[in-house]
Structure 1
Amino acid sequence: MLRHKLIHPQITAIIAAAGHHSSILIADGNYPAASKRGPRAELVSLNLMPGVPTCNQVLEALLSAIPVEAIQTMQTETSGPYALDGDPPVWEDYRKTIKNEGLDLEIQPVDKWAFYDAVSTNDHVLTIQTADQQRYANILLTVGVRMD
């Protein structure tokens, strides 16, 4: 019986095999998960219907189960049809979830193309495709070290 919030058997098996510096992408519903992932990364599709589940819900489950040493998001565009003034609202949800899990980590925005490059490495072990419809909801976790 698991004691943390994450109970998905396939995701649990993948993260159990992951080690320090492995990366896990929680992808929103618009992310090209079939083509933008590492060569060894497994894809788990949780996208049930628009908005279910959200990236933040998956983040909460993962943070309950693994040590995380870095969190990156896709930097917002400043011009064009997807431009935003300031941070997307979902990032505040992430900050609350991170704080609620007792982590002292800051979200690190990364240029869109650098984000895709970070996801396309050999260290990328898992993409969890959600149905989150919020812009800039993609979030990349770097697995840390268990200290206890």
Structure 2
Amino acid sequence: MLRNIPPILSPDLLHALAAMGHGDDIVIADANFPGTSMGRRLLRLDGISATDTLEAVLGLLPLDSFVPDPALVMEVVDDPDAVPEIVADFQTIIDATADHPAKVARLERFAFYERAKEAFAVIQTGETRLYGNIILKKGVIG
């Protein structure tokens, strides 16, 4: 056991977060996301929401402050201007938790998938809300 580490973060996930370098991406994905086929390294947090996972991860991982869009979500198919409730929740968590809060940017569905394939890791959560996927770019600790 360690202090001040959110208990929902598994040892494998903690190792991945520590092993990531500046500029590496990590995906927090919902239960519908094709994590096994998309991720180089798949980490599972079944039964945990994407929002709880985001809050726990951002407590440890700095967002990149050298890029314009360090947090990316998937656009709603056929309605790219829609903001699903979970995306609004992601923004609230980033505003409250991130060391460098940033506005969530959007990627078209297949562009999101291509970016996810290149990510350091995919965290597959038990999130059941649609569009509960976000890519974070790791920053540096000053």
TM-score of the alignment, normalized to the shorter chain, above 0.5: yes
2:22 is matched with: 20
Compare the two structures and name the one with the higher helix fraction. Answer: 2
- Aligned-residue sequence identity (percent) comes to 27
Instruction: Provide the secondary structure at the position in 2 that maps to 1:34.
Output: helix
Distance 1:86 1:73 in 2: 12
Q: Which residue of 1 aligns with 2:84?
A: 88
Q: Compared with structure 1, are the counterparts of its residues 53 and 84 closer, same or farther at alpha carbon in structure 2 (3 Å cutoff)?
A: farther
Q: How many residues were matched structurally?
A: 134
**AA of the residue aligned to 1:113:** F
Which residue in 2 is equivalent to 1:142? 137
- Please give the TM-score of this superposition, normalised by the length of structure 2: 0.86
Say whether the 8 Å CA contact 1:5–1:65 is kept in structure 2: no
- The within-5 A match list for 1:6-45 is 7-37=9-39, 41-45=40-44
SS in 1 for 2:35: coil
Q: Does 1:113 align with 2:123?
A: no
The alignment status of 1:125 with 2:127, answered yes or no, reads no
User: What residue number does 1:71 align with?
Assistant: 71
1:2 and 1:140 map into 2 onto residues whose CA distance is 27
Counterpart amino acid of 2:113?
Y
Whether 1:59 and 2:54 are equivalent positions in the alignment is: yes
Over 6 Å off, 4+ runs? none
SS in 1 for 2:28: strand
Cα separation, partners in 2 of 1:118 and 1:84, compared to 1, 3 Å:
closer
Specify every segment of 5 or more residues in structure 1 that has no aligned partner in the other structure, as ranges: none
1-structure distance, mates of 2:131, 2:11: 27
- Aligned residue for 2:120, secondary structure, equals strand
| Structure 2 gaps, min length 5 | 65-69
The code of the aligned residue for 1:96 comes to T
**Contact between 2:86 and 2:132, CA under 8 Å: does it hold in 1?**
yes
State the superposition RMSD in angstroms: 1.7
